[in-house]
């Protein structure tokens, strides 16, 4: 056991939501320059505690320290980015017409609920919380029950920075009870949720009675499409990185690689070599590339997909087992299946582990068809040196985000989110404020125009 964590119930959620409601008026009316200053101070503290946060995160999740050591820097960047935008968050448009001036402005929606998953918990908490706070919303945060530790640390740092009490509240607990209570609370005006698609559906139902505004960042089965004309060395590096980094527990992981038939055998052969050499081990060792999966139940789920792949007739090329020498922990070897087709579960369902499925294709049309033939539509990666094909193909992909000749490289002003079963809404830049704020239109008459008269005849 790592530590004991309180399991908040309906009462704790109610207390937190009331605190968020009580703090809302003051936080909303705090000058945006002051909010900006406070959020930068949070970023400073995150940076100052970067090593501690990385160690806690590795301890809590099993994510290798080589990746978690960057988590605090990225989390601080989230706060700085939205701090700098706080002053412009309420900006709107001037929409003049004959005799009237219409102008819009944005105002924070009120207290919001933020519900996050366990894969990169600290980074995701900051990604959701920073824009809400910059917008002037107060927050009740319910972190994942498998990774509760760093959210508490974040709340402590937020308070240490001087953010007033009640503005950020954290309640740990189980999704189906604590999380549910948050989504049903009448004082909570919106839910920013990151997690599984099925949970998103449940939250939509739970929030219906109180007409919750929802923002969903859900699962993915993201294709990496590699054409024969691509820079294959770079495509190989990026394919390996996008599925085996962060333990494969990554919503934007490239979990299906679609390979043009003429390069299929060679590319899968080179992939297999690399996958077999991925260093699995103690997540605190800076040399480790793949740590233990977060929970025995998750390991069981991933192993279930190994059985599914075998039963459906795909070829297990590498991994697929737990290492024999792993004394303790949910260690699972980096896994590659080949000769898959689109109908198989390993080609359609999100495994959320270090598990890649390779699928051959013959034509561009077939590649597009396979890429789009899943329920999800979060991210897609395209490798080709044909610029016309790159543009045309990217437009037709069912994905909220497409990277061409690149792994996932984030630029915070760009919209982040998915289509189909991968989500509703976008985060990043100004898109986040659209969710956390109401847009209001104000119409001012500029002259004494004739007002229609009734009962005056
Ligand atoms: P999950 O949906 O099981 O849990 C996420 C959160 O929801 C947890 O805090 C959980 O306690 C809570 N929850 C569960 N049931 C609930 C309910 N009925 N009401 C309210 N809250 C409830 O997801 P997970 O297994 O923790 O995370 C993995 C999933 O997250 C994957 O599908 C992954 O793709 C997705 N994810 C998406 C993104 C993205 O940006 N699109 C990013 C990271 C992870």
Closest-CA residue, ligand 1 atom 34, reads 219
Q: Which helix (H) or strand (E) holds 214?
A: strand 213-217
- Give me the pLDDT at residue 93, please: 97
> 95 C-alpha to center of ligand 1: Å?
40
- Give me the pLDDT at residue 324, please: 86
Which region, left, alpha or beta, applies to residue 216 given φ > 0 means left and ψ of -120 to 50 means alpha? Answer: beta
SS (H, E, C) 341-385: CCCCHHHHCCCCCCEEEEEEECCHHHHHHHHHCCCEECEEEEECC
- Give me the pLDDT at residue 272, please: 98
Q: Decide if pLDDT at 150 tops 90.
A: yes
Pocket test for ligand 1, best of 140, 199, 355 (most atoms within 8 A of CB): 199
Say if CB 171 and CB 5 are below 8 A apart: no
pLDDT tens digits along 246-303:
999 999 999 999 999 999 999 999 999 999 999 999 999 999 999 999 999 999 999 9
Question: Helix, strand or coil for residue 190?
Answer: strand
Cβ of 378 less than 6 Å from ligand 1: yes
Query: How far is residue 259's CA from residue 341's CA, in Å, rounded to a whole number?
Result: 12
Q: Which is the closest atom of ligand 1 to the Cα of 200?
A: 2
Partners of 112 in beta bridges: 139, 190
**Is the pTM value of this prediction over 0.75?**
yes
Residue 101: how many CB atoms within 10 A of its CB? 13
Catalytic residue among 251, 289, 350, 407: 251
Average pLDDT on 191-216 reads 98
Domains of the chain plus CATH, in order, are 10-218+434-443 (3.40.605.10), 223-404 (3.40.309.10)
Contacts of 134 (CB under 8 A, 6+ apart): 35, 36, 39, 82, 83, 85, 86, 89, 433
pLDDT above 90 covers a percentage of the chain that reads 98
Closest-CA residue, ligand 1 atom 14, reads 175
pLDDT tens digits along 17-34:
999 999 999 999 999 999
pLDDT tens digits along 296-322:
999 999 999 999 999 999 999 999 999
> 193 C-alpha to center of ligand 1: Å?
7
Angle at 93 between CA 88 and CA 97, to 5 degrees: 160
> 220 C-alpha to center of ligand 1: Å?
12
Q: Decide if pLDDT at 176 tops 70.
A: yes
Partners of 226 in beta bridges: 259, 383
Query: How far is residue 449's CA from residue 29's CA, in Å, rounded to a whole number?
Result: 35
| Residue that the structure tokens 């990217």 belong to | 394
Q: Which is the closest atom of ligand 1 to the Cα of 416?
A: 40
Cβ of 194 less than 6 Å from ligand 1: yes
Q: At what angle do helices 32-48 and 50-61 cross, to 10 degrees?
A: 70
Closest CA to 46 of 136, 128, 125: 125
Q: Which is the closest atom of ligand 1 to the Cα of 182?
A: 20
Residue 26: how many CB atoms within 10 A of its CB? 12
> 214 C-alpha to center of ligand 1: Å?
14
Please, is 165 exposed, middle or buried when counting C-beta atoms within 10 Å of its C-beta (0-12, 13-18, 19+)?
Answer: exposed
- Give me the pLDDT at residue 457, please: 81
Q: Which is the closest atom of ligand 1 to the Cα of 350?
A: 32
Residues composing the chain: 457
- Give me the pLDDT at residue 328, please: 80
Look up 12 and say whether it is catalytic.
no
> 228 C-alpha to center of ligand 1: Å?
37
Say if CB 259 and CB 339 are below 8 A apart: no
Cβ of 119 less than 6 Å from ligand 1: yes
For residue 328, what is the DSSP state?
A: S
Catalytic residue among 12, 57, 217, 350: 217
Q: Which segments within 80-178 are labelled E, that is strand? A: 94-97, 100-108, 112-115, 139-142, 168-170
> 144 C-alpha to center of ligand 1: Å?
7
> 117 C-alpha to center of ligand 1: Å?
4
Q: Decide if pLDDT at 326 tops 80.
A: no
Closest CA to 354 of 271, 267, 266: 271
Look up 137 and say whether it is catalytic.
no
Contacts of 127 (CB under 8 A, 6+ apart): 75, 78, 427
Query: How far is residue 360's CA from residue 342's CA, in Å, rounded to a whole number?
Result: 10
Partners of 292 in beta bridges: none
- Give me the pLDDT at residue 327, please: 64
Q: Which is the closest atom of ligand 1 to the Cα of 203?
A: 19
Closest CA to 423 of 264, 135, 165, 215: 215
Cβ of 145 less than 6 Å from ligand 1: yes
Closest-CA residue, ligand 1 atom 12, reads 175
């Amino acid at each position: 056991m790592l530590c004991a964590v309180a399991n908040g119930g309906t009462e704790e959620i109610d207390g937190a939501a009331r605190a968020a409601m009580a703090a809302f008026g003051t936080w909303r009316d705090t000058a945006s320059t002051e909010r900006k200053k406070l959020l930068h101070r949070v970023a400073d503290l995150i940076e100052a505690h970067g090593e501690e946060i990385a160690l806690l995160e590795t301890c809590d999740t099993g994510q290798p320290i080589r990746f978690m050591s960057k988590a605090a820097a990225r989390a601080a960047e989230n706060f700085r980015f939205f701090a700098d935008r706080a002053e412009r968050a309420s900006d709107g448009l001037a929409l003049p017409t004959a005799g009237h001036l219409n102008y819009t402005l944005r105002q924070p929606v009120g207290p919001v609920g933020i519900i996050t998953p366990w894969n990169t918990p600290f980074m995701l908490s900051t990604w959701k919380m920073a824009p809400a706070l910059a917008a002037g919303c107060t927050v009740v945060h319910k972190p994942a029950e498998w990774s509760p530790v760093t959210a508490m640390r974040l709340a402590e740092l937020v308070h240490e920075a001087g953010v007033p009490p009640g503005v950020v509240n954290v309640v740990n607990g189980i999704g189906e009870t604590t999380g549910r209570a948050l989504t049903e609370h009448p004082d909570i005006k919106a839910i920013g949720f990151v997690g599984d698609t099925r949970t998103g559906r449940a939250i939509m139902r739970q929030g219906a009675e109180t007409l919750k505004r929802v923002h969903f960042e859900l699962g993915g089965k993201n294709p990496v499409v590699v054409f024969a004309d691509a820079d294959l060395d770079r495509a190989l590096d990026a394919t390996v990185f996008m599925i085996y980094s962060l333990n494969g527990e990554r919503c934007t992981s490239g979990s299906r690689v679609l390979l043009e038939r003429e390069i299929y055998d060679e590319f899968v052969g080179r992939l297999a070599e690399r996958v077999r050499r991925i260093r699995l081990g103690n997540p605190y060792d800076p040399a480790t590339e793949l740590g233990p999966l977060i929970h025995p139940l998750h390991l069981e789920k991933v192993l279930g997909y190994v059985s599914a792949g075998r039963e459906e007739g795909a070829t297990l090329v590498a991994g697929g087992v737990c290492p024999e020498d792993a004394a303790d922990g949910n260690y699972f070897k980096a896994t590659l299946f080949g000769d898959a087709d689109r109908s198989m579960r390993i080609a359609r369902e999100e495994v959320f582990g270090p598990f890649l499925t390779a699928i051959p294709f013959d034509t561009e049309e077939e590649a597009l068809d396979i890429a789009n033939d899943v329920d999800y539509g979060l991210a897609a990666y395209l490798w080709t040196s044909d610029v016309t094909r790159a543009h045309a193909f990217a437009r037709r992909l069912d994905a909220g985000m497409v990277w061409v000749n690149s792994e996932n490289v984030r630029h915070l002003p760009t919209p982040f989110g998915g289509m189909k079963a991968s989500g509703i809404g976008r985060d990043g830049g100004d898109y986040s404020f659209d969710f956390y704020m109401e847009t209001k239109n104000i119409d001012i008459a500029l002259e004494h125009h004739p007002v229609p008269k009734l009962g005056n005849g």
